[in-house]
Structure 1
Amino acid sequence: MRLILATTLLALTGLTSAAPVTVQDDRGATVTLPGVPKRIVSLLPSLTETVCELGDCAKLVGVDRFSNFPASAAALPKLGGLDDTSIEALVALKPDVVLLGVSARVIDRLEALGLKVVALEPRSMGDVQRVLGKVAQVLGKPDDARRIWNRIDGAISFHAQQLPPAARALRVYYEVDAAPYAAGRASFIGEILERLGAKNIVPAELGPFPKLNPEFVVRADPQLIMVGQRSASGLPQRPGWGGIRAVKQQKICVWVPNESDVLVRPGPRMGEAAALMARCLRQAAAGPVPLPTTPFNAPPGGMR
């Protein structure tokens, strides 16, 4: 009788693990997998980190060139980026599902080859929470998504509560790229800044990551600038920027590459991003912000 019961339980367990998984991605496409995937390709760093945070890093068989965290993901085969993914190498990995951004150019080609594709595009904090839930749904771990989101949200609140009054209400310009592209109030970066009490000079109506006329920043005259080390070179020499209050008072927080990775990826490390921004706000409230002592060395393939 015990043997029969054990066999029945095993059979039921097998049926459960093989139950179809259905998810609607950010294209509005409904994707049905025959079961929880065992082989996953991720073509977006934030999605790679999300899979790992959910405990399924071992299921990743390939990633994009920018996925460098955690270390186990950094060691996986690199398949290119949004615009130059190696389809042949990807297909050879025989993934059960490919996770990528909505803007990836390879979606139609991969689907034509019969691969299951889930396209997700986190831009705001609400998007991050939703995408975390979608990935957890694909992996069969919806409860873990709620736990992880509560930890992220709690960490942001903690760092906001620790800031002294002098570090609040500073007018901030956050540059994500030297074009210049900015993190607006509608972006996850802008929303974290708001949670920390900062005043983003880029209004929400311009979108999450708008390309700005440099004169816009000059006129806005921010008290603090946050920028990656790659884009910081020559910033004070831009036409008119020498007169910006943040430049004159040396209140520019320059992120080294590993910090930039944390800050620009809408995923599980947003609590760490809040800690970095809070550190910057405290430094700016106290006086000139020290520049990094580490020289800039671009990671292989650039940064994302």
Structure 2
Amino acid sequence: MPRTTPFQNPQAALLAALLLVSFAVLPVSAATVIDDAGTHVTLNTTPQRIVSLAPSNTEILAALGLTGRLVGITDVCNYPPEVNTVPRIGGYSAISTEKVSAARPDLVIASDITPAETTARLRALGLNVVVVAPRNIDDMIRDIRLVGALTGTDAEAERLAWNLSSRLANLGTAERPAGTRPTIAHVVWNNPLYVSGNDTLQNDVIEHAGGTNAFARVSGWGTVSLEEFLMTNPDIIIVNGGGGMDNETRDVILEDFMTRPQYASLSAVKIHRVYAVKADTISRAGPRIVDATEQVAADVREMTRAESGGSTGLAPTARTPGFCAAGTVLFIAAFVFLVQRRR
């Protein structure tokens, strides 16, 4: 008996046609990831319209060459400069879901600072939301790869992650014995004295740079008294750069430490080991956190060489640009908000 082909059997032909149509319309998954909130997120197509709800995530996207896909960022996203033309959708905790929705994004990248109700509302509107919230430098490098997988920039993400990891490895601080590590305080603000304790990004910076956090006993970010600070007497003091009341280049916290009599007894003040690092560079879990780590590591090397009687061979640590009072208040408010969320 001759074999019947599907086209000679009307029922078989209909079934084959239906299968072809179904395969044609079923989407092929572009990526499936588990975000930093533990949520499985699947994108069926490579996103072309992206909204970022945190400056650190905006910087990751820009470092992957995705600035052109941004259709919405927060009011405090300011780096790199080319993002300044991207429409604004609100602040850290005052995000306009209406503006986000109106931007018609196919991907929204939130953070742990994004209010949970905002994230839920955006998902209820049918938007793809992924939470990218690295807590340390290793998390940040991992999240670069995650964002790369979601956006079809895997190769760029791998190159960036490799570059950042190599720069950290080249610091040569990983094997430094605990007893030889200088104590380092990171001061977020000076009135009151607001420092970075354990379980903070800045604690991770200090450890990668070859130091020990002088206030590791503080949980997260917190205030300490002047007496406690003086008794701790850290070997090196890192302060947030900027903070001027106008647009002049002023590092007001640095100036405070170096000129006010109450700090004169500190060893770091006496021998000029108080350094400013630009505030958003050391506070954002994006690629520039490695820049901050390299700067702190250079300060540690400078101290080590000075104590051994050798020349540092290093240029002085650069002063950082100041920023307006409103920016200062917003920065501190963001830190307080994050501390409260983590507690």
* Partner in structure 2 of residue 35 of structure 1: 45
1:103 to 113, 137, 149: 113
- Return closer, same or farther for 1:263/1:294 CA change in 2, 3 Å cut-off: closer
Q: 1:17 to 1:57 in 2, by over 3 A?
A: farther
Matches of 2:99 and 2:325 in 1, distance apart? 22
Residue of structure 2 in register with 1:51 after alignment: 61
- Contact kept? 1:45, 1:68, Cα under 8 Å: yes
User: 2:267 aligned with 1:245, yes or no?
Assistant: yes
Conserved in 2, the CA contact under 8 Å of 1:79 and 1:85? Answer: yes
1:195 paired residue among 208, 229, 239: 208
Partner of 1:114: 126
Correspondence 1:274 to 2:268: no
Q: Which residue of 2 aligns with 1:79?
A: 89
The whole-number CA distance in structure 1 between the counterparts of 2:149 and 2:317 is: 42
Identity %: 28
What is the aligned counterpart of 1:211 among 195, 206, 222? 222
**What is the DSSP-based 3-state SS (H/G/I as helix, E as strand, rest coil) of the residue aligned with 1:212?**
strand
Aligned to 1:297: 323
Asked whether the 8 Å contact 1:40–1:59 carries over to 2, the reply is yes
Is the contact between residue 210 and residue 300 of structure 2 (CA under 8 Å) also seen in structure 1?
A: no
Which of 1 and 2 has greater Rg? 2
The counterpart of 1:184, out of the listed 197, 203, 228, is 197
CA contact (8 A) 1:156 1:192 kept: no
User: Structure 2 vs 1, CA of residues 294 and 272 (structure 1 numbering), >3 Å: closer, same or farther?
Assistant: closer
Displacement of 1:282 in angstroms is 4.7
CA contact (8 A) 1:241 1:247 kept: yes
Listed as ranges, the matches of 1:94-173 within 5 Å are 94-105=104-115, 106-160=118-172, 169-173=181-185
The one of 206, 216, 224 equivalent to 2:236 is: 224
Q: Distance in 1 between matches of 2:163 and 2:140?
A: 13
Letter in 2 for 1:221: N
1:41 shift after superposition: 0.5
List runs of 5+ in structure 2 lacking aligned partners: 1-23, 174-179, 244-251, 308-314, 332-343
Contact kept? 2:171, 2:209, Cα under 8 Å: yes
Counterparts of 1:277 and 1:88, CA distance in 2 = 41
Question: In the superposition, relative to structure 1, how do residues 136 and 52 fare at CA in structure 2: closer, same or farther (>3 Å)?
Answer: same
Residue 131 of structure 1 and its aligned partner are, at CA, apart by: 1.6
Q: Distance in 1 between matches of 2:140 and 2:213?
A: 20
Cα root mean square deviation, aligned: 3.3
Larger relative CO (CA 8 A, sep 6+): 1 or 2? 1
